[in-house]
């Protein structure tokens, strides 16, 4: 079977996927923080800040895509992702070893139960950045999972950040795709009642707020952030 045929089969398996009973139980008994946000909002920076406190375990996702270069640095197996082939992804799906899995741009992406177990055994909060689809899958297993949607300070600052990220040479097609994804994810998050919204206007402050949410506190009302989310959505 060639890769395209195998990928098509995996897509169908993912659409019907359910984690094993052992994986579900593990997720229920492990504190988990899921960071969501539009591209360029700074969720990766917040994650890095929190990981520096030694209270968190980074969930390294699995993917069947090839490693690529980011800002001149090549991705490494076990750091950015666990890079696996299609056959290994199929085995993990068949074994119910993923907490959640999705098929995107011809590749499989998923969170493994092994990563959650490491956080559980280390008595740390499992943390990852993820898409809204993945959050929804976690929510079916662990209601009221800690899900934080990170926002830039404004639509205009967000666009400036994106331009700087790509040195002002943003591919028009890529930018259009990112804007469409942002629109879908913002609408999804606003439609659900399990998201907390945090504005990343100053990294240290934003990280502190997210840390408090992860540990069960409610440090500030997020109504202003929700208003901003609606404002950004209206401009997309």
Residues 6+ apart with CB under 8 A from 25: none
pLDDT lower than 70: segments of the chain:
1, 166-168, 170, 219-221
Instruction: Clarify whether residues 50 and 89 are in a common domain.
Output: no
Instruction: Clarify whether residues 40 and 139 are in a common domain.
Output: yes
Instruction: Clarify whether residues 149 and 44 are in a common domain.
Output: yes
Instruction: Clarify whether residues 117 and 64 are in a common domain.
Output: yes
**Last residue of one domain, picked from the residues 93, 122, 151:** 122
Mean pLDDT, the chain, integer? 92
Instruction: Clarify whether residues 38 and 84 are in a common domain.
Output: no
Q: Is the dihedral of CA 10, 86, 147, 234 positive or negative?
A: negative
Q: Give the whole-number percent of the chain exceeding pLDDT 70.
A: 97
Instruction: Clarify whether residues 22 and 105 are in a common domain.
Output: yes
Structure tokens at 204: 């240290």
Instruction: Clarify whether residues 163 and 107 are in a common domain.
Output: no
pLDDT, tens digit, 9 for 90 and up, residues 53-68: 999 999 999 999 999 8
Compute the distance between CA of residue 131 and CA of residue 35 in angstroms, rounded to an integer.
8
Where residue 95 sits, what CATH number does that domain have?
3.30.63.10
**Last residue of one domain, picked from the residues 122, 148, 169:** 122
Structure tokens at 226: 């929700």
Instruction: Clarify whether residues 172 and 132 are in a common domain.
Output: yes
Q: pLDDT value at position 64?
A: 95
Where residue 131 sits, what CATH number does that domain have?
3.40.50.300
Among residues 90, 86, 83, 88, the alpha carbon closest in space to that of 17 is found at 90
Instruction: Clarify whether residues 104 and 163 are in a common domain.
Output: no
Domain count, the chain: 2
Q: pLDDT value at position 76?
A: 96
Domain containing 221 equals 31-55+124-236
**Last residue of one domain, picked from the residues 76, 93, 122:** 122
Q: How would you class 51 by CB atoms within 10 Å of its CB: exposed for 0-12, middle for 13-18, buried for 19 or more?
A: middle
Instruction: Clarify whether residues 73 and 189 are in a common domain.
Output: no
Taking the mean position of all CA atoms in its chain, how far away is CA 136? 11
Instruction: Clarify whether residues 2 and 71 are in a common domain.
Output: yes
Q: How close are the terminal C-alpha atoms of the chain, in Å? A: 42
pTM here? 0.89
Instruction: Clarify whether residues 22 and 109 are in a common domain.
Output: yes
């Amino acid at each position: 079977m060639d890769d395209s045929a195998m990928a098509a089969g995996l897509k169908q398996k993912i659409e019907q996927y359910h984690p094993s009973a052992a994986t579900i139980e593990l997720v229920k008994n492990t504190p988990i923080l899921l960071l969501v946000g539009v591209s360029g909002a700074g969720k990766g920076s917040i994650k890095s800040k929190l990981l520096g406190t030694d209270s968190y375990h980074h969930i390294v996702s699995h993917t069947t895509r090839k490693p690529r270069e980011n800002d001149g640095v090549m991705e490494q197996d076990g750091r950015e992702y666990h890079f696996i082939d299609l056959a290994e992804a199929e085995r993990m799906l068949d074994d119910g070893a993923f907490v959640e899995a999705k098929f995107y741009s011809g590749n499989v992406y998923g969170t493994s139960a092994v990563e959650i177990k490491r956080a559980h055994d280390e008595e740390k909060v499992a943390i990852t950045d993820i898409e809204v689809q993945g959050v929804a899958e976690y929510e079916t297993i662990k209601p009221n999972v800690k899900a934080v949607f990170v926002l830039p300070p404004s639509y205009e600052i967000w666009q400036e950040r994106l331009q700087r990220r790509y040195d002002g040479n943003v591919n028009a097609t890529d930018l259009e795709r990112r804007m469409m994804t942002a629109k879908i994810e913002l609408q999804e998050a606003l439609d659900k009642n399990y998201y907390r919204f945090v504005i990343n206007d100053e990294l240290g402050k934003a990280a502190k707020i997210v840390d408090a949410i992860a540990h069960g506190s409610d440090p500030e009302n997020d109504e202003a952030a929700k208003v901003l989310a609606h404002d950004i959505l209206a401009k997309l």
